[in-house]
């Protein structure tokens, strides 16, 4: 079976901060350092890159050269629409000026994407939502979200956009929270160039079954990017692949195969306490191993078990592939 | 402001069972007893009634007479498509015969609805989903769901159907889990007579904000029924209204006002350890009181606060209405 | 390394009911049928048996004979203190008479345990707790719990008792919710013959790390029984072993080894939609396989990784054992 | 009834950062600015103060003067044992040197507490725990926790220490996660001067019932501080008091009354998107109002309802106090 290719968010190689360790988990890091580290991960070729870059004077041309020098490709650009000025929202900010400024920031990311050769521009509206019961006019926020993204999509018809949904953090409750809600929002936009970044961990957090969400998004023609990582379900821990959920990861990989996914799989990790090069290398090693497991899965037997909803038989097929032998009673 | 009217699921007056107390929380109860008890709840006028009825030989005509005798109205019928034979699914059962039988059972509920004068026929596909990772072919289940309901909708174009979504229980994971996923399924059906029963408690369980989901469903023209109750977020505890979530309940009621809801509000409660008449009476008393609170809400001030996402101001408007005085700093 | 032995709750072979499928998942079953089915599971030797038995006239002597005839051993008896009459609590029931009756029921289970040769009498106070905010006098419930169990422990100093903690279901909130809270309650009892039944799934539900809880309970000398199964964390789904959480299961098994556990491991499953004999056979097959995985774990390397909190190295040691080869970078 | 007094963590008036908005929610702030802002909150008198202070050269004597000048009192000092160097733990750090350094940092906080007149020194071991399954030697971490704190308690017998438990964040899983687990750890320490800071929001996160935990901690003589705030249960949102959970807050306040709590109630808020002075003022206004509600509660009727576990009656007593009239059927 086909070999997957890999990418990551450039932030995996940056400095991590949290609300307590305000001094950061490690020193600050330049774009140059982050890109060089990314290049050290065997198999990692693609980067999702934040715009603006590390320092105000940094240009996309410089970043492009760094990528080229390190044999890396820009997969996407992600505008920073969730920093200080956007704490009350980006597309949904109550202040007209900030909603407008959000678009400007996206336009910067579009311009950078062109120079960098990115496949899509990602929206991660992490501050769009609310914090308290009764704080928000939900339909107004919904309209702002749809209108803001639609305007940009119409304005840039040749650019592929993709929304990364998430149910919370940093906003206490985020508007584009689930796969289905995001598909619904996109259907209201009535544009062709807005799709979805489907992050395994965000899906777990949203009480979804990641493989199911991947397939539903694909069924609606909106799958732009597939991302792997792991967490404990309650929060976006951004751990290495299959740290916790092995079977769901295998299921997700089988779903990717079923739709003949050939684009990169992105790794969205925050290795707060691990060496990033090592943590991402590990994820790729694990996926590579799980590709072999998937190769060994008896798909016909799996289909048969699923078609009769025989849970024990379905899991036995996977165990066979893991154990490399048939052991369990049928 | 307008007075809400009230209904309930007839099951609130029945015997409760759980997987441990298999001998039931109290004795079994006849339709006659359940209807008579429902009539004892001041303000309760509408019932959602399960089909088949309590005993095989019971007819809809008999039930209709019982309702009339007790001054009650049938709001909806709910076919029993989640009993023993449907443990592996109703619309999504792997067995063609059982999928077909599901439709027959729905047809019984349609026939009963006609006799009883019900406004809609409810689907609560509590067994449609899966239990284990890797057990299900998600798109097959999705197709079965959509096809089954679409067939019935096309076959009965004058009947209004409504899906009550829920994310789990009894199936470990249910397919029509959230408001947005259900809207998505309905949009795929391309029929006009399938809408949604929006249950406050199911929405909490699904990590939704109930008022937001209500408004989104209404925006898409699919709101058929609104139901109130409460729980602790992790499970469908079916407690009396506002037992836990006062502010979300007020927010939900304000959302009902904003869409000029004039149909009954249904109470979906399972008073395992309380007297049902008393437990439902209490819910209506609470809603009645909260209607007065809503009357006192300064809507202009609330809108202004929400338009600027001023959470403290928005909550202060609600506190004013609760406390019947202006106390808090602005 | 040592071979584990296995047991199960007899209820795994009974009829399942839920609050919707009140007609039950399958027909009712006699003790005879349940015991015969248990005997069909290869490797299963021990049963935790509910008292009273299936029919009022059934005696412990009859059950003992059934067990003997089928080569089975009674591991524990579990008094039914969570049926209809106990819906407002057993040890904590507000009614003195019911608190007293709870003790009588436990005494029946003690008498049965003697005849059946059970190692311990289990308390599963599933109705002891509360449902709503403000309903309960928490310290009163706490006192009732401690006093009731202490009285029985003092009255029967040669009997080993064990509490199975759980955070909810059937009671909306249960008092003996977590390992630590139960240890605290036991320490207040100041008796020597009350310990803990540590159920993997209940531990997941309670947001615990099962291996950690097992070790803490053992550290305090209170580990009476270890039980395996699995769930999705939010509810007590009682699925087969490692259906969802493979790594936590391996970790739990390594913890059992570290304390030299030689007593049976009990399987607490509710195979609502599967054949019980098959579902329990599968769990034993999986544990047997995972025993081999544990045999292959390089414990010295694991210790070293854990001693330096090197998460990637620790997980690599487990992957080595799973993959039967060293692949991942260190 | 008695008037509560109020305090807050000084951090409520500082700059907030999260892992995305690394540029911070607003500018950095000096100790002087934070203390002056705290003084602007009517009723706020006590501060929990982090050590080290805002800048390395800042002395406790200077802070004391700032407090005096602003009419404020130091309630507690909290050593910064969760910053960059402690990302793999403070008391539980695998590195002996860092475990030792943790103690030095605590000693600084003790010295500051003496100068500032603080009542207790708080441990918030936010980095003590683990991130992945299989990463940790749980008993080793448990021992490190107990030994580290015991050593400090023995070394400083006249200092009152208090542990603030929390189940996660920043560490993915924290060791001192719940009230009962912390009581268990303290019982193992066998010292008299270590108690507990009981934070309402941490208790919600840990799936506890806050009033119950408060009472259990008090029953064991370990309640050093009581803190109020609110969240949505899944995460430590640190919202203003009763933003979400009104009934649980009232229940908590009634529990404080039942133990005759006269020490300050601390507000642990992170007003990311609100003005801190306003957000804390609001919390005090809400508690002040709820004190009046508590004054109106018919305690005898509440006790009677609780003694019979009559949930509807118990909640009716609270509704009476909220509505200032008797309305609901009994």
Is pLDDT above 50 for B86? Answer: yes
The reply to whether B54 and B131 lie within a common domain is yes
- Residue D83: its chain A contacts at CB < 8 A? 20-23
* pLDDT digit string, tens, across residues C111-124: 999 999 999 999 99
A303 touches chain B (CB under 8 A): yes
Chains with ≥3 CB–CB distances under 8 Å to D: A, B, C
Nearest to C212 among D138, D184, D306 (CB): D138
A235 touches chain B (CB under 8 A): no
The reply to whether C178 and C315 lie within a common domain is no
Nearest to A139 among B88, B167, B219 (CB): B219
Distance of CA B250 to the CA centre of its chain: 18
Helices (H), chain D: 31-39, 60-69, 96-116, 138-155, 179-189, 200-205, 210-219, 246-258, 276-296, 299-307, 311-323
3 state DSSP class of C320: helix
Strand-pairing partners, residue B46, are B7, B73
User: D289, B316: Cβ pair inside 8 Å?
Assistant: no
C172 touches chain B (CB under 8 A): yes
The ipTM of this complex is 0.97
In B, minimum Cα distance to C237 occurs at B172
Task: State percent of chain A over pLDDT 70.
Answer: 99
Chains with ≥3 CB–CB distances under 8 Å to C: A, B, D
Helix (H) or strand (E) holding B132: none
Asked whether residue A96 is assigned to any structural domain, the reply reads yes
The reply to whether B253 and B302 lie within a common domain is no
Give the closest-approach CA distance of D20 to chain A in angstroms: 7
In A, minimum Cα distance to C281 occurs at A329
Query: What token pair was written down for A38?
Result: 């990314």
Asked whether residue B1 is assigned to any structural domain, the reply reads no
D292 touches chain B (CB under 8 A): no
C327 touches chain A (CB under 8 A): yes
Is pLDDT above 90 for D58? Answer: yes
The reply to whether A330 and A233 lie within a common domain is no
Q: Which domain holds residue A327?
A: 298-330
pLDDT of residue C2: 52
Residues C194, C186 contacting (CB under 8 angstroms): yes
Taking residue D150's Cβ as centre, other Cβ atoms within 10 Å add up to 17
Is pLDDT above 90 for B329? Answer: no
Nearest to D21 among A15, A25, A170 (CB): A170
The reply to whether B115 and B66 lie within a common domain is yes
Distance, in Å, from the CA atom of B226 to the CA atom of B157, rounded to the nearest integer, reads 22
Distance, in Å, from the CA atom of C36 to the CA atom of C60, rounded to the nearest integer, reads 16
Helix (H) or strand (E) holding A18: none
A204 touches chain B (CB under 8 A): no
How many domains are there within chain B?
2
Among the ranges given (A190-194, A287-291, C82-86, D256-260), the one the predictor scored with the smallest mean pLDDT: C82-86
Asked whether residue C193 is assigned to any structural domain, the reply reads yes
Distance, in Å, from the CA atom of D330 to the CA atom of D317, rounded to the nearest integer, reads 10
Asked whether residue C27 is assigned to any structural domain, the reply reads yes
User: D315, C135: Cβ pair inside 8 Å?
Assistant: yes
Backbone angles phi, psi at D266, to 5 degrees: -95, 145
pLDDT range class, residue D2, cuts 50, 70, 90: low
How does strand D44-51 pair with strand D6-9?
Answer: parallel
Which of B130, B134, B230 is the best mutation test for A, with the most CBs of A within 10 A? B134
Query: What token pair was written down for A77?
Result: 């650009």
Strand-pairing partners, residue A25, are A16
Which of D44, D231, D282 is the best mutation test for B, with the most CBs of B within 10 A? D282
* pLDDT digit string, tens, across residues A123-167: 999 999 999 999 999 999 999 999 999 999 999 999 999 999 999
Query: What token pair was written down for D192?
Result: 């008299």
What is the number of CB-based contacts under 8 A between chain A and chain C?
A: 61
pLDDT of residue A1: 46
User: B246, D243: Cβ pair inside 8 Å?
Assistant: no
The reply to whether B114 and B204 lie within a common domain is yes
The reply to whether C109 and C168 lie within a common domain is yes
Nearest to B285 among D244, D246, D329 (CB): D329
* pLDDT digit string, tens, across residues B258-273: 999 999 999 999 999 9
Strand-pairing partners, residue D48, are D9, D76
Q: Mean pLDDT across the stretch D99-117? A: 98
Nearest to C243 among A243, A315, A327 (CB): A315
Query: What token pair was written down for B208?
Result: 């939704």
User: C312, A240: Cβ pair inside 8 Å?
Assistant: yes
Residues A223, A198 contacting (CB under 8 angstroms): yes
Residues B252, B5 contacting (CB under 8 angstroms): no
Which of D248, D329, D330 is the best mutation test for B, with the most CBs of B within 10 A? D329
pLDDT of residue B1: 45
CATH code assigned at C277: 3.20.20.150
- Residue C215: its chain D contacts at CB < 8 A? 138-139
Lookup result for tokens 């719990």: C145
Nearest to B274 by CA among B64, B55, B41, B77: B41
Asked whether residue B74 is assigned to any structural domain, the reply reads yes
Query: What token pair was written down for B66?
Result: 């019982």
Q: What is the DSSP letter of A79?
A: E
Among the ranges given (A175-184, C23-32, C76-85, D276-285), the one the predictor scored with the smallest mean pLDDT: C23-32
C173 touches chain D (CB under 8 A): yes
Q: What is the DSSP letter of C25?
A: B
Asked whether residue D209 is assigned to any structural domain, the reply reads yes
* pLDDT digit string, tens, across residues A191-224: 999 999 999 999 999 999 999 999 999 999 999 9
User: C327, A240: Cβ pair inside 8 Å?
Assistant: no
Give the closest-approach CA distance of C264 to chain D in angstroms: 23
Is pLDDT above 70 for A25? Answer: yes
pLDDT of residue B125: 96
A272 touches chain D (CB under 8 A): yes
- Residue B278: its chain D contacts at CB < 8 A? 312, 329
The reply to whether B211 and B314 lie within a common domain is no
pLDDT of residue D1: 45
Instruction: Give the Cα-Cα-Cα angle D124, D129, D133 (nearest 5 degrees).
Output: 155
Which of A230, A277, A280, A312 is the best mutation test for C, with the most CBs of C within 10 A? A312
The reply to whether C202 and C154 lie within a common domain is yes
pLDDT of residue B203: 98
C193-to-B135, C157, C187 alpha-carbon distances in Å = 43, 7, 11
3 state DSSP class of C63: helix
**What is the average pLDDT score of chain D?**
97
The reply to whether B192 and B144 lie within a common domain is yes
- Mark C190-228 as b/e (b = at least 16 C-beta within 10 Å): ebebbbbbbbbbbbbbbbbbbbbbbbbbbbbebbbbbbb
Distance, in Å, from the CA atom of A28 to the CA atom of A23, rounded to the nearest integer, reads 10
For A72, residues 6+ apart whose C-beta sits below 8 A from its C-beta are: A35, A38, A39, A44, A45, A46, A47
C31 upstream amide cis, omega within 30 of 0? no
The reply to whether A263 and A307 lie within a common domain is no
Is pLDDT above 60 for B2? Answer: no
How does strand D173-174 pair with strand D223-228?
Answer: unpaired
Strand-pairing partners, residue B96, are none
A251 touches chain B (CB under 8 A): yes
Residues A128, A92 contacting (CB under 8 angstroms): yes
B13 upstream amide cis, omega within 30 of 0? no
C87 touches chain B (CB under 8 A): yes
pLDDT tens, chain C, 330 aa long: 458 999 999 999 999 999 998 788 989 999 999 999 999 999 999 999 999 999 999 999 999 999 999 999 999 999 999 999 999 999 999 999 999 999 999 999 999 999 999 999 999 999 999 999 999 999 999 999 999 999 999 999 999 999 999 999 999 999 999 999 999 999 999 999 999 999 999 999 999 999 999 999 999 999 999 999 999 999 999 999 999 999 999 999 999 999 999 999 999 999 999 999 999 999 999 999 999 999 999 999 999 999 999 999 999 999 999 999 999 987
The reply to whether D208 and D328 lie within a common domain is no
Query: What token pair was written down for A216?
Result: 């539903």
Nearest to D89 by CA among D157, D26, D173, D210: D173
Taking residue C71's Cβ as centre, other Cβ atoms within 10 Å add up to 10
pLDDT range class, residue B3, cuts 50, 70, 90: confident
User: D178, C183: Cβ pair inside 8 Å?
Assistant: no
Residues B130, B171 contacting (CB under 8 angstroms): yes
Distance, in Å, from the CA atom of D272 to the CA atom of D24, rounded to the nearest integer, reads 9
Is pLDDT above 80 for B256? Answer: yes
Give the closest-approach CA distance of B329 to chain D in angstroms: 7
Lookup result for tokens 């063609």: B96
Asked whether residue D1 is assigned to any structural domain, the reply reads no
3 state DSSP class of A318: helix
Query: What token pair was written down for D252?
Result: 């908590």
User: B319, D286: Cβ pair inside 8 Å?
Assistant: yes
Nearest to C319 by CA among A269, A240, A42: A240
CA atoms within 13 A on the CB side of C290: 25
For A100, residues 6+ apart whose C-beta sits below 8 A from its C-beta are: none
For B224, residues 6+ apart whose C-beta sits below 8 A from its C-beta are: B119, B120, B160, B162, B195, B196, B197
DSSP per-residue string spanning A173-220? EESS-SHHHHHHHHHHHT-SSEEEEEEHHHHHHTT--HHHHHHHHHHT
pLDDT of residue C1: 46
Nearest to A274 by CA among C113, C84, C310: C310
D93 touches chain B (CB under 8 A): no
D297 touches chain C (CB under 8 A): no
3 state DSSP class of A317: helix
A94-to-A145, B307, C69, C81 alpha-carbon distances in Å = 12, 6, 76, 56
Asked whether residue D107 is assigned to any structural domain, the reply reads yes
User: B239, C173: Cβ pair inside 8 Å?
Assistant: no
User: B312, D279: Cβ pair inside 8 Å?
Assistant: yes
What's B76-120 look like in SS3? EEEECCCCHHHCCCCCCCCCHHHHHHHHHHHHHHHHHHHHHCCCE
B190 touches chain D (CB under 8 A): no
C105 touches chain A (CB under 8 A): no
């Amino acid at each position: 079976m086909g070999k997957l290719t890999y990418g990551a968010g450039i932030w995996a190689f940056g400095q991590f901060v949290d609300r307590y360790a305000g001094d950061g988990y490690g020193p600050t890091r330049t774009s140059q350092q982050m890109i060089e580290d990314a290049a050290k991960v065997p198999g990692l070729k693609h980067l999702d890159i934040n715009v603006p870059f590390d320092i105000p004077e940094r240009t996309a041309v410089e970043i492009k050269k760094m990528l080229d020098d390190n044999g890396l490709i820009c997969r996407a650009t992600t505008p920073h629409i969730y920093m200080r000025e956007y704490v009350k929202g980006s597309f949904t900010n109550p202040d007209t000026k900030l909603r407008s400024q959000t678009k400007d920031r996206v336009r910067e990311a579009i311009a950078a994407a062109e120079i960098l050769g990115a496949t899509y521009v990602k929206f991660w509206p992490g501050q769009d939502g609310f914090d308290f019961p009764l704080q928000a006019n939900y339909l107004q926020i919904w309209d702002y979200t749809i209108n803001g993204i639609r305007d940009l999509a119409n304005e840039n018809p040749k650019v592929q956009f993709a929304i990364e949904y998430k149910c919370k953090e940093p906003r206490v409750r985020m508007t584009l929270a689930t796969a289905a809600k995001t598909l619904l929002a996109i259907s209201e936009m009535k544009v062709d160039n807005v799709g979805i970044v489907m992050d395994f961990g965000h899906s777990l957090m949203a009480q979804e079954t990641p493989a199911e969400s991947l397939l539903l998004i694909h069924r609606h023609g909106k799958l732009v990017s597939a991302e792997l990582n792991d967490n404990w379900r309650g929060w976006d821990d951004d751990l290495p692949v299959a740290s916790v959920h092995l079977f769901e990861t295998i299921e997700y990989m089988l779903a990717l195969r079923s739709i003949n996914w050939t684009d990169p799989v992105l790794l969205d990790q925050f290795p707060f306490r691990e060496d990033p090069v090592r943590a991402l290398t590990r994820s790729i090693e694990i996926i590579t191993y799980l590709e072999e497991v998937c190769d060994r899965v008896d798909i016909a037997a799996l289909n048969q078990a699923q078609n009769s909803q025989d849970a024990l038989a379905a899991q036995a097929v996977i165990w066979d592939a893991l154990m490399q032998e048939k052991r369990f009673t049928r």
